[in-house]
């Protein structure tokens, strides 16, 4: 099979939209359609359509007094997310390493995207029997410990909107109704940690705790995963969750959280 160059996959319209956004940098505050058209050597009608599309998604705003355009709030949100995630991952790395060493299981740092958990970083233990890495995967929030830790402090109304009445089953132990899931999430709030007792995959157990930043908002979850024969009920309720919650609090403190 002949590998094609990445440049062969470029979508021209998307490239032009990014060109437009990149003109708003440095000392540039506002630009008009005509000015952008000249700078990018694009027809004014094309530039106007690109701006209209970006404006509809809040990446671009228009000043009604002079009809010029400027960057929208969505650009700021993306930038803040980038800074937040990079800062969080940098602080999380030694925490992940310590968690893997203390528990002997794979440790993870994850975030919430919609109703899915995204695993951003992990550290594997030296144990000979390891679980398949979840790094980079998107997993259902209702069937994972990290997911339940990430949504634990949302209101019942918001959780009901998020998950709906019926939940997809992945194993015989997956919570199938919102009521059952909500009771489990209430336990997360009380105990400070969440569990996945073979709810997503038979033979696999996970424990997770929420990570907060200086705004007190839950921005991530610290977790460990391992085979059920190692993560026994006693281990889950004592040693493992103790390390997960302790280190999640330490990471939260490093990110500026104060009780």
Neighbours of 53 (CB within 10 A): 14
Strand partners for 158: none
Q: Give the domain ranges of the chain.
A: 6-71, 81-254
- Give the span between the Cα atoms of 251 and 93, in whole angstroms: 10
Q: Evaluate whether 6-71 and 81-254 have a shared fold.
A: no
Residue-level pLDDT, tens digit, the chain, 259 residues:
555 565 677 889 999 999 999 998 767 789 999 999 999 999 999 999 999 999 999 999 998 889 999 998 888 778 767 766 677 888 999 999 999 999 999 999 999 988 999 998 899 887 655 666 777 778 999 999 999 999 999 999 999 999 998 999 999 999 999 999 999 999 999 999 999 999 999 999 999 999 999 889 999 999 999 999 999 998 888 888 899 999 999 999 998 888 7
Give the number of other CB atoms < 10 A from CB of residue 187.
Answer: 15
Pairing of strands 69-71, 194-197: unpaired
Give pLDDT, residue 240: 87
Contact 90, 250 (CB under 8 A): no
Neighbours of 226 (CB within 10 A): 23
Fold of 6-71: Arc Repressor Mutant, subunit A (1.10.10)
CA atoms within 13 A on the CB side of 114: 4
Predicted local confidence at residue 40, as pLDDT: 93
Rounded to 5°, the CA angle 151-92-77 comes to: 60
> Quick one: pLDDT at residue 128?
55
Q: Could you tell me which CATH class the domain 81-254 is placed in?
A: alpha beta
How far CA 205 is from CA of 154, 173, 232, in Å, comes to: 24, 11, 9
Token pair listed for 2: 């002949």
Residue 127, pLDDT score: 61
Residue 81 confidence (pLDDT):
75
Q: Are 125 and 103 in contact (CB under 8 A)?
A: yes
Q: What is the pLDDT of residue 5?
A: 65
Q: Are 117 and 141 contacting, i.e. CB atoms less than 8 angstroms apart? A: yes
In terms of Cβ atoms closer than 10 Å to its own Cβ (0-12, 13-18, 19+), residue 43 is exposed
> Six-digit token pair at 136?
């980079």
Quick check: 222 and 252 in contact, CB under 8 A? no
């Amino acid at each position: 099979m002949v590998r094609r160059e990445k440049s062969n996959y470029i979508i021209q319209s998307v490239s032009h939209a990014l060109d437009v956004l990149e003109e708003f940098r440095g000392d540039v505050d506002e630009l008009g359609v005509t000015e952008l058209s000249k700078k990018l050597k694009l027809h004014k009608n094309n530039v106007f359509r690109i701006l209209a599309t970006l404006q509809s998604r809040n990446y671009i705003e228009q000043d009604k007094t002079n009809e010029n355009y400027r960057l929208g709030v969505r650009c700021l949100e993306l930038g803040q997310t980038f800074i937040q995630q990079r800062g969080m991952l940098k602080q999380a790395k030694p925490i992940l390493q310590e968690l893997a060493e203390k528990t002997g299981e794979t440790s993870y740092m994850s975030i919430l995207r919609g109703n899915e958990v995204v695993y951003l970083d992990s550290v594997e233990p030296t144990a000979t029997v390891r679980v398949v890495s979840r790094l980079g995967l998107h997993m259902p929030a209702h069937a994972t410990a990290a997911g339940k830790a990430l949504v634990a402090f949302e209101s019942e109304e918001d959780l009901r909107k998020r998950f709906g009445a019926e939940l997809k089953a992945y194993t015989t132990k997956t919570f199938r109704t919102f009521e059952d899931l909500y009771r489990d999430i209430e336990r997360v709030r009380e105990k400070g940690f969440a569990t996945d007792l073979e709810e997503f995959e038979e033979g696999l157990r996970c424990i997770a705790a929420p990570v907060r930043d200086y705004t007190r908002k839950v921005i991530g979850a610290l977790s460990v995963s391992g085979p059920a024969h190692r993560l026994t009920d006693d281990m889950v309720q004592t040693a493992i969750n103790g390390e997960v919650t302790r280190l999640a609090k330490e990471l939260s403190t490093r990110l500026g959280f104060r009780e």
